[in-house]
């Protein structure tokens, strides 16, 4: 079976286009996953920072309460 040169070129072009489309889809999926990972990472960082701030606030409040207790105990 002889295939015309023109037909071969068309098949080749279609093949190249398919490969490019598949690669673009993979890149797009990879980008979406990357963005989601970055988003989750950002949320985790915000949660950790929030926990740290809460911890610092609790420590400060405990310190203040202890100081007040010591102060009121010394006054008596």
Q: Residue 25 corresponds to which tokens in the numbers above?
A: 């889809």
Provide the pLDDT confidence category of residue 1 given band limits of 50, 70 and 90.
low
Global confidence as pTM = 0.45
- pLDDT tens for residues 24-74? 888 888 888 888 888 888 888 888 888 888 899 999 999 999 988 888 888
Alpha helices in the chain (DSSP H): 5-75
């Amino acid at each position: 079976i002889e295939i015309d040169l023109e037909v071969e070129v068309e098949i080749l072009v279609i093949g190249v286009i398919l490969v490019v489309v598949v690669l673009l889809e993979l890149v797009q999926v990879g980008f979406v996953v990357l963005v989601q990972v970055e988003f989750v990472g950002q949320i985790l960082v915000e949660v950790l920072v929030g926990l740290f701030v809460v911890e610092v606030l609790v420590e400060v409040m405990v310190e203040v309460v202890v100081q007040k207790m010591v102060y009121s105990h010394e006054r008596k």
